[in-house]
Structure 1
Amino acid sequence: MSIQSSEEMWKLLGLLLKSHPWHGVMIGDKAPEVVTTFIEIVPTDTIKYEVDKDTGFLKVDRPQRYSNVCPALYGFVPQTYCGDSTAEFCKEKSGIDVEGDSDPLDICILSEKQITHGNILLQAIPIGGFRMIDGNEADDKIIAVMKGDLVYGNYRSINDIPPIVVDRLRHYFLTYKQIPGESDKTTCEITHTYDRDEAFEVIRRSQTDYLDKFGDLKGLLTQMIPFQND
């Protein structure tokens, strides 16, 4: 069987091989308005899972500390990277000298429906975010709603979300590293809660940082793997 194009080759590879959730999953043609997301943890998880960057498998990061569990679906946006451009935007808005945290862009997604496990993809609509700084690193948390959700799906602004929901998310991110009974050693802070336009800019910059860091992986692999073009 001859392969007529690189696109046909990639479709065949997709049938045989599991895509790495960070590098092999497309962010989507409608980004930043709608983005593909990879969910690592859900609100019922008492273990914090995260993707192993080398293998793409979920791994145990640590048990959630005491009763502190994430109040929303939580994961990252594929083919994003928090590097120089993302850090520069954070510095511009916060006035704090930071660098990127060298991770994919974090995202939490609100949904009426209970999703019982992670390691899944879903389409999300970004509506805002937290400008979070962890130590001296930019660590933005995009806030989004699940596309098509009957309760949250029509929200298009952080101001559409009930304040208590935003407060719960803020509390989680400010306390999830703390251990009761020990002195507060965390240096996490949230300097701003921003609306969708700034969320879109953070996503765009993280896409730019990804290309600067990793290049066009699909294009590079297409050049490396020969195919027959009749």
Structure 2
Amino acid sequence: MRKRVKKQKPEIVTAKVSPSPTVYPQISMQRNFYKSHPWHGIQIGEDMPKVVTAFIEIVPTDTVKYEIDKETGFLKIDRPQKFSNIVPALYGFVPQTYCGEGTAVLAREKSGKEIEKGDGDPLDILVLTERTITHGDILCQAIPIGGIRMIDKGEADDKIIAVLKGDSLYGKWTDISECPKPIIDRLVHYFLTYKNIPGEEKVAVDIDEVYGAAMAHEVILKSREDYRNLVG
């Protein structure tokens, strides 16, 4: 008598498929759940130092000085602007930069002045544009054309001057030599006076030099090196 053999059911192999965003919306949202820190979480740009990303904190229409809170990455109120001195361009910083020892050494070599250290902040940037930008807390692509070597209380505090990439009026400038002198004078005057309060002792800020694009690139690269040393 023949022995009956049980037929085995064919094994069904199922492919692992990622959950659909419509079924598990919380999964697709995870990647955007946390806002990138403007200083540490945003890339400086692949074409730096010729083109850099700028995080804008304040604009010429602001009557309050905002600045980034280094711990949280949110904008905070630094102080109300009590007087008529307003920033003459978009003002912010270059992500993943830091004014540290290398930046101070560069400023000391170029100026021949006693500079103790960098100011310990990201590299400041001013972005010129013909358009009215109504608020800060935004990113833009900027083309550095020069800078202001500023020394504040013995600390290197360079200000990069840039133009908004694609701007129909300023966007084709590549060097500070193409910028009309009244615009440069306005920028310099702002930093010479923005900390002074009528009736109080004047704050001495040393504007050593207004330099061109080549030096601006050097400052950006040095501050980038300082940042890498800072974060290890």
TM-score, reference length from structure 2: 0.86
Aligned to 2:107: 90
Unaligned runs of 5+ residues in structure 2 are 1-17, 20-27
Number of paired residues? Answer: 206
Give distance in 1, aligned partners of 2:135 and 2:32.
24
Amino acid corresponding to residue 100 of structure 2 in structure 1: G
Matched, 1:209 2:204: no
Deviation at 1:73, TM superposition (A): 0.2
Q: In the TM superposition, what are the counterparts of 1:1-230 in structure 2 within 5 Å?
A: 1=18, 14-98=31-115, 99-184=117-202, 186-215=203-232
Give distance in 2, aligned partners of 1:171 and 1:115.
22
Give distance in 1, aligned partners of 2:118 and 2:30.
33
Q: How big is the alpha-carbon RMSD for the aligned residues of Structure 1 and Structure 2?
A: 1.4
Provide the secondary structure at the position in 2 that maps to 1:85.
helix
Contact 1:65–1:176 under 8 Å retained in 2: no
Deviation string for 1:101-136 (max 9, x for gaps)?
Answer: 110000000000000000000000000000000001
Deviation string for 1:163-200 (max 9, x for gaps)?
Answer: 1011000000110000112221x121110000000000
Aligned to 1:7: none
Deviation at 1:50, TM superposition (A): 0.1
Aligned to 1:218: none
Give distance in 2, aligned partners of 1:45 and 1:14.
33
Provide the secondary structure at the position in 2 that maps to 1:171.
helix
Larger radius of gyration: 2
Deviation at 1:64, TM superposition (A): 1.8
Contact 1:126–1:143 under 8 Å retained in 2: yes
Give distance in 2, aligned partners of 1:121 and 1:50.
14
Q: Which has the higher contact order (CA 8 A, sep 6+)?
A: 1
Give distance in 2, aligned partners of 1:145 and 1:37.
11
- Over the matched positions of the two proteins, sequence identity in percent amounts to 60
Deviation at 1:212, TM superposition (A): 0.2
Deviation at 1:16, TM superposition (A): 2.3
Amino acid corresponding to residue 146 of structure 1 in structure 2: L
Deviation at 1:97, TM superposition (A): 2.1
Q: 1:124 to 1:63 in 2, by over 3 A?
A: same
Aligned to 1:220: none
Give distance in 2, aligned partners of 1:34 and 1:12.
31
Contact 1:147–1:153 under 8 Å retained in 2: yes
Amino acid corresponding to residue 189 of structure 1 in structure 2: D
